[in-house]
């Protein structure tokens, strides 16, 4: 009986060990699968970043007051991996020197992946600093480079359009051409008929021989006398505002005064401040009055320097006065016809 109980206990213990071992293995497998998924996501996100070209720089330089920069101009990406690349430049103050940040966002095609961001510093510098950076070999974005990029883009666009036209030449509509010729032939026929009728009307003799002597030549057709016509275009005045100096900068020296107590000898009226005793003693030894008094006086103790900046005013300067221009506006004949 005791033997059976022992066997039963051993069987229970073995079953518990198997269950615990199975749970442990399951936990390990789950953890490994989780780590594998994490590594897969990280790999895909790394591939996402590799799929974009043109984001290698971590810092850009721009001259102050540069406008119209396309920060996505040189950026290309693999459309099988990357859906789009966005740029946020809302933190950049183009009119103030300083260091700012622009944020590029790479949006994946796979919606299960998170978008990847890259922050790039952009330093807005003065024109003088921009020149120094250029000499050091740095690329600096300026209004000049922006305009050059736009011109190049327009030239490339025109070149592509030109190539497209060469590859797909326009084909004339044969039916229209045929119709045009037919119409022309019809008009020609009509013209011939008209001419024939006209000739009969002018040159055909009358049936009576007496009427031939009174026959009159046809009236000549009107010849247009075209006269150039003009229209008046008014050009308003052009000018600009400019500053001028009302008062030059100047420096003002303002004296500083203080009330001070002075000791005055009553006998000789000397200022004996700080040396009362020797002075009074000398008078007394001479049998003179040895008294003194205190007087308050305002004296200058220093000078305050004030720098006043220059004062400016604004005035309007005329660059070009208003004027009227006579612009050609076609031709007109005395009969009223215009062209």
pLDDT in tens, 127-146: 999 999 999 999 999 999 98
Distance between CA 266 and CA 290 in Å, rounded? 8
What's the rounded Cα separation, in Å, for the pair 265 and 276?
Answer: 8
Which residues have CB under 8 Å from 324's CB, separation 6+?
Answer: 232, 233, 234, 235
Q: Mapping DSSP to helix (H, G, I), strand (E, B) and coil, where does residue 214 land?
A: helix
- What per-residue confidence (pLDDT) applies to 30? 39
Specify whether the CB–CB gap between 146 and 66 falls below 8 A.
yes
Q: State the pLDDT confidence band at 251, using cuts at 50, 70 and 90.
A: very high
Residue 310: closest CA among 242, 253, 246: 246
Distance from C-alpha of 61 to C-alpha of 28, rounded to nearest angstrom: 52
End-to-end, the C-alpha distance of the chain in Å comes to 131
Quick: pLDDT tens for 136-190: 999 999 999 989 888 888 888 888 887 776 666 554 444 444 344 333 343 444 4
Residue 98 near residue 124, CB atoms below 8 Å = yes
pLDDT in tens, 297-312: 998 989 999 999 999 9
| Domain boundaries, given as residue ranges, for the chain | 53-155, 228-246+312-332, 250-304
Task: Tell me the C-alpha distance between 198 and 201, whole Å.
Answer: 5
> pTM higher than 0.75, yes or no?
no
68 φ/ψ angles, rounded to the nearest 5 degrees: 80, 25
Q: Please give the C-alpha separations between residue 166 and each of 158, 162, 172, in angstroms, as whole numbers.
A: 12, 6, 15
Least Cα distance to 61 among 127, 134, 123 occurs for 123
Residue 270 has pLDDT above 90, yes or no: yes
What kind of architecture, by CATH, is found in domain 53-155? Answer: Sandwich (2.60)
Nearest one of 61, 87, 57 to 142, comparing CA atoms:
61
Mean pLDDT taken over the chain: 78
Asked if the model's pLDDT at residue 208 lies above 70, the reply is: no
In this predicted model, which residue has the larger pLDDT, 27 or 274?
Answer: 274
pLDDT tens digits, 290-300: 899 999 999 89
Q: What integer pLDDT is reported at residue 322 of this predicted model?
A: 94
Nearest of 84, 87, 88 to residue 108 by alpha carbon:
84
Token couple for 221: 């057709």
Question: For 100-137, what is each residue's pLDDT tens digit?
Answer: 999 999 999 988 888 989 999 999 999 999 999 999 99
Q: Bridge partners of 298?
A: 259
Give the pLDDT score at 173: 47
> Do 317 and 239 form a contact (C-beta atoms < 8 A)?
yes
pLDDT at 205 over 60: no
């Amino acid at each position: 009986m005791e033997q059976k109980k022992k066997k039963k206990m051993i069987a229970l213990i073995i079953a518990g060990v198997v269950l615990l071992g199975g749970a442990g293995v399951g936990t390990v497998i789950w953890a490994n699968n989780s780590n594998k998924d994490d590594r897969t996501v990280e790999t895909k996100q790394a591939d996402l970043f590799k799929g974009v070209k043109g984001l290698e720089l971590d810092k850009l330089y721009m001259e102050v007051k540069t406008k119209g920069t396309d920060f996505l101009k040189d950026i290309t990406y693999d459309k099988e991996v990357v859906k789009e690349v966005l740029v946020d430049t809302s933190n950049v103050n183009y009119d103030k020197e300083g260091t700012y940040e622009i944020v590029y966002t790479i949006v994946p095609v796979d919606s299960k992946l998170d978008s990847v961001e890259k922050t790039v510093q952009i330093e807005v510098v003065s024109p003088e600093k921009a020149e120094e950076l250029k000499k050091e070999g740095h690329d600096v974005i300026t209004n000049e480079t922006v305009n050059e990029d736009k011109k190049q883009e327009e030239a490339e666009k025109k070149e592509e359009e030109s190539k497209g036209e060469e590859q797909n030449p326009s084909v004339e509509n044969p039916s229209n051409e045929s119709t045009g010729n037919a119409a022309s032939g019809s008009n020609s026929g009509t013209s011939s008929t008209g001419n024939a009728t006209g000739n009969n009307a002018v040159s055909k003799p009358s049936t009576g021989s007496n009427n031939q002597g009174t026959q009159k030549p046809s009236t000549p057709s009107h010849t247009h006398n075209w006269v150039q016509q003009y229209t008046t275009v008014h050009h308003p005045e052009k000018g600009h505002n400019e500053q001028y100096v009302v008062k030059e900068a100047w420096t003002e020296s303002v004296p500083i005064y203080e009330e001070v107590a002075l000791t005055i000898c009553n006998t000789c009226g000397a200022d004996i401040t700080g040396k009362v005793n020797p002075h009074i003693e000398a008078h007394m030894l001479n049998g003179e009055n040895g008294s003194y008094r205190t007087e308050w006086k305002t004296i200058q103790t220093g000078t305050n320097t004030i720098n006043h900046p220059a004062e400016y005013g604004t005035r309007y300067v005329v660059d070009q006065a208003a004027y009227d221009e006579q612009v050609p506006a076609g031709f007109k004949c005395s009969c009223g016809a215009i062209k």
